[in-house]
């Protein structure tokens, strides 16, 4: 994750503790590359939100995620 997305996630993490699991994936590892492929991420900067069944409900590529958008998606995911 890039520094901008890392800060965004760090800001949201305390509000969703216990409801959302946050994972950072390093794209420069074999595991990271496999996850990027699995979730259809075209590059190294982005966010993916999964529902409780592990299905992708939202993706953000690059730096287009705003805190408000990510929070709205997280609210949807924990319903």
pLDDT tens sequence for the chain (79 residues): 578 888 888 899 999 888 998 888 888 889 988 988 888 887 777 888 888 888 888 988 877 788 899 999 999 888 8
Can you tell me which residue has the tokens 């794209």? 27
pLDDT for the residue 14: 92
Range list of H helices, 2-48: 3-16, 30-38
Sign of CA dihedral 41, 78, 63, 8: negative
Pairing of strands 46-50, 56-61: antiparallel
Mean pLDDT of all residues in the chain?
85
pLDDT for the residue 72: 92
73 and 12 Cβ atoms separated by less than 8 Å: no
Domain ranges of the chain: 3-77
């Amino acid at each position: 994750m890039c520094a901008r997305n890392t800060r965004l996630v760090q800001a949201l993490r305390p509000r969703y503790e216990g409801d959302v699991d946050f994972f950072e994936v390093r794209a420069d590892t074999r595991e990271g590359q496999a996850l990027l492929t699995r979730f259809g991420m075209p590059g190294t900067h982005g966010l993916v939100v999964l529902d409780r069944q592990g299905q992708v409900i939202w993706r953000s590529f690059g730096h287009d995620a705003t805190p408000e958008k990510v929070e709205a998606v997280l609210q949807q995911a924990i319903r």
